[in-house]
């Protein structure tokens, strides 16, 4: 996805049977090629894998930062 994939949205290369449509193609993203799935990532079910992904997205979500000393006081 050249413009990036939003969190919570399936990759558009994902087929209905959950296989990658471009698995053996050179245009498959490098991050996908390099990824080595681990049992903790996949779990025993699709639901466990999606739960892991949701947690990963949560902890890697960008946060807005304020300059030090700019906190509001009431
Ligand atoms: S391996 Fe990469 S390109 Fe293929 S479906 Fe998964 S995220 Fe998309």
Backbone angles phi, psi at 14, to 5 degrees: -80, 120
Sign for the pseudo-dihedral over CA of 18, 19, 25, 29: positive
Q: Which of 3, 10, 14 to mutate to test the pocket of ligand 1 (most atoms within 8 A of CB)?
A: 14
Q: pTM value?
A: 0.71
- The whole-number average pLDDT for the span 27-32 is 94
What are the Cα distances from residue 68, in Å, to 57, 65, 71, 72, 74?
A: 26, 9, 7, 11, 17
Tell me: pLDDT of 5 over 90: no
13 CA to middle of ligand 1, Å?
6
Tell me: pLDDT of 74 over 70: no
Please tell me the distance from the alpha carbon of residue 55 to that of residue 70, in angstroms, as a whole number: 30
- The whole-number average pLDDT for the span 49-55 is 92
């Amino acid at each position: 996805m050249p413009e990036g994939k939003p969190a919570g949205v399936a990759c558009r290369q994902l087929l209905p049977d959950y296989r990658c449509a471009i698995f053996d193609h050179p245009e498959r993203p490098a991050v996908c090629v390099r990824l080595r799935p681990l049992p903790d990532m996949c779990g025993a079910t699709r639901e466990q894998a999606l739960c892991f992904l949701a947690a990963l997205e949560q902890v890697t979500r960008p946060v807005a930062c304020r300059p030090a000393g700019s906190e509001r006081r009431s």
